[in-house]
């Protein structure tokens, strides 16, 4: 099962996505199943990153999540490192449910890892292809995956900045591709999940 949950800042998307991942985990009949939190935020990015990490850890406390993260900065090495760690976690279990949080942070780390690549590849496909390939591979490793993504498209963004324009276009592209790829899609508004897509088995 592949699920995309997206919403604006403080919309409640994280709580709903977490509940969804736990529900998928608990519905598995495997006795050797695992529940994995794939953390994409760079804890060294500054700002309120440490506070946000602390908040999300508190939310997950006692729910059985093991956490995978990477401090690698190069974009290709980052994606490879996360996949390798996820694969290792999956090998020790039979059926894993993964919560990837969040797509926006992953896009930022890939796009801004090397500004020369942003200048060289101003269209969204170069970075979008890398991230979508990662999403496909991650999905093939686990039984269920819940992608959490960001709805930033109503916010005021300085699109005269090349980096921000590339980030905006890449996130927009990857959200569309994940929507098509996923079995279920939810948009969360003011804490209310709105089902946009459900593929019947």
The DSSP bridge pattern shows strands 184-189 and 2-7 to be parallel
Predicted TM-score (pTM) of this structure: 0.89
Spatial contact of 141 and 87, defined as CB atoms under 8 Å apart: yes
106-132 burial by CB neighbour count: b if 16+ within 10 A, else e? bbbbbbbbeeebbeeeeebebbbebbb
Token pair for 94: 């039979």
Could you tell me which residues come within 8 angstroms of residue 100 by beta carbon, excluding any fewer than 6 positions away? Answer: 38, 40, 106, 135, 138, 145, 146, 147, 148
Per-residue model confidence as pLDDT tens for the chain (201 residues): 999 999 998 899 999 999 999 999 988 777 668 899 999 988 666 566 667 666 766 666 677 889 999 999 899 999 999 999 999 888 777 668 999 999 999 999 999 887 777 777 666 688 999 999 999 999 999 999 999 999 988 777 777 888 888 899 999 999 999 999 999 999 999 999 999 999 976
């Amino acid at each position: 099962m592949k699920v995309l949950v997206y919403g604006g800042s403080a919309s409640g998307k994280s709580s709903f996505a977490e509940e969804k991942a736990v529900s998928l985990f608990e519905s598995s009949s495997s006795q050797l199943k695992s529940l994995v939190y794939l953390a994409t935020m760079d804890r060294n990015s500054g700002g309120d990153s440490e506070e946000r990490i602390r908040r999300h850890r508190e939310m997950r406390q006692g729910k059985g999540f093991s956490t995978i993260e990477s401090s690698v900065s190069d974009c290709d090495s980052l994606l490879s490192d996360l996949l390798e760690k996820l694969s290792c976690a999956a090998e020790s279990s039979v059926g894993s449910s993964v919560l990837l949080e969040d797509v926006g942070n992953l896009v930022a780390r890939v796009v801004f890892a090397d500004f020369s690549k942003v200048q060289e590849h101003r269209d969204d496909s170069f970075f979008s292809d890398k991230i979508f390939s990662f999403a496909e591979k991650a999905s093939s490793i686990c039984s269920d995956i819940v992608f959490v993504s960001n709805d930033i498209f109503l916010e005021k963004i300085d699109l005269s900045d090349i980096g921000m324009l590339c980030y905006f276009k890449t996130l927009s592209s990857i959200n569309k591709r994940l929507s098509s790829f996923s079995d279920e899609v939810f948009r969360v508004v003011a804490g209310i999940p709105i089902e946009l897509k459900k593929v019947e088995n």
